Chains A and B, each alone.
Chain A
Amino acid sequence: MLGMAILLAFHFLGLLIQQTTSLPIPANVIGLILFTACLFLKIVKLEWVEASAQFLLRHMLLFFIPFVVGTMVYFPIIRESFLAIVFGLVASSLLSLVVTGWLTQWLDKGEKSS
């Protein structure tokens, strides 16, 4: 439970910083940035949080289920702008996937040969 407490504390710290500075960065991301920094600086030890983090990350798909079930409420809006959504979402996602993969593969090859 120590791990869960630490993760929640960083999320809360992120919220605190976001509310006081009104930074346009989500609270959970501020928490993630600070938490990552603390891991690299060895302020937080990996073994304190590892079990809880593993559990949360392994079952990420479970936590997404309510969002996907939520699509049932948006079926009308999705049907309305179906074409724009399909092209915006599908084309842009697949293009980005290929572009990212090509770029990384190409850069990585260059790196190895140098």
Chain B
Amino acid sequence: MSGIVDHPLFGITITVGVYALTDLIRRRWWRWLHPLLASSVVLILFLLASGISYESYAAGGDFVSFFLGPATVALGTTIYKNWERVRNRAWAILTGITFGSLFGIASTAFLLWVFGSSGEVLRSMLPKNVTSPVSVEIVALLGGIPSLGAVFTVLAGLLGSVVGPMLARLAGIRADAAIGTAIGTTAHGIGTARLLLESEAQGSVSGFSMAVAAILTPLLFIPMYWWMH
């Protein structure tokens, strides 16, 4: 029995199964249900309750998250397809993405420095606003802890996904292009997926912004990488 949960098929099956189930519940009954948050909570509780180790789960989980690699490349289609929609305001959106990405990195560095966090946590959190497969790689280049970086990135995405649309409204950000740029730049794929549930116009700008930020952010880190080495 203990052998079977170490098989990758175990982690793959429960991940896809719980995701499919929460997605079904969201579509049928509870539109506010967050598939990622709900699935993860169910899986964590299940693993804790059953005493199955994270390592056993991760043997299959790694297969599932492998697809983030080609999914990152697939973001190219998001840039290409949405270009016509954003080109007449491309300058505003691209400036927003560039400045927003820089602001995210600088404010993280400043706040963590003020609160005296360790360099390891700092290096793992700096790229938290860019899509997770990219942030994990940047964390590795900077010498942080990639899995911790992934966690911070997902938390940043969840935060933007859950409170982002409301915060934007409260801050008086009403234009679809501005909401999409703000959420895509700071809450990457998780925020984009949330916007796509409600608005194609916001979601497409968000996807465009997230994809452009995925290209831009590693370039912004090159000077820092050179300075460190």
By the criterion CB–CB under 8 Å, are B134 and A67 in contact?
A: no
Partner of A57, one of B15, B58, B75: B75
- Nearest-neighbour CB distance to chain B for A97, whole angstroms, equals 4
Chain B contacts of A89 at CB under 8 A?
Answer: 108, 125, 128, 152, 155-156, 159
In the assembly, what is the distance between CA of A100 and CA of B121, in Å? 25
By the criterion CB–CB under 8 Å, are B74 and A7 in contact?
A: yes
Chain A 64-105 residues near chain B, CB threshold 8 A? 64-74, 77-78, 81, 83-85, 87-105
B interface secondary structure, majority: helix
Chain A 6-40 residues near chain B, CB threshold 8 A? 7-8, 10-11, 14, 24-29, 31-33, 35-36, 38-40
Q: Does A56 contact B (CB under 8 A)?
A: yes
Q: Does A1 contact B (CB under 8 A)?
A: no
By the criterion CB–CB under 8 Å, are B96 and A104 in contact?
A: yes
In the assembly, what is the distance between CA of A69 and CA of B151, in Å? 9
Bin the interface of chain A by size.
35 or more
In the assembly, what is the distance between CA of A28 and CA of B107, in Å? 26
Chain A contacts of B128 at CB under 8 A?
Answer: 89, 92-93
In the assembly, what is the distance between CA of A57 and CA of B221, in Å? 25
Bin the interface of chain B by size.
35 or more
Partner of B57, one of A52, A69, A83: A69
- Nearest-neighbour CB distance to chain A for B171, whole angstroms, equals 5
Partner of B36, one of A10, A54, A57, A61: A61
Q: Does A53 contact B (CB under 8 A)?
A: yes
- Nearest-neighbour CB distance to chain A for B209, whole angstroms, equals 8
Instruction: Report, nearest first, the 5 A-B pairs whose CB atoms are least far apart.
Output: A66-B61, A100-B100, A26-B137, A101-B182, A104-B96
Q: Can you report 21 A-B residue pairs in the complex whose CB atoms are below 8 A from each other? A: A8-B70, A10-B76, A11-B70, A26-B141, A32-B75, A36-B76, A64-B154, A66-B64, A70-B150, A70-B151, A71-B40, A81-B121, A84-B115, A89-B152, A94-B163, A97-B164, A99-B99, A100-B97, A100-B100, A101-B168, A108-B89
Q: A11-B70, A65-B39 are in contact. List 12 more A-B contacts (CB 8 A).
A: A11-B69, A29-B134, A40-B80, A49-B74, A60-B189, A65-B18, A66-B58, A71-B40, A96-B129, A97-B164, A98-B168, A100-B182
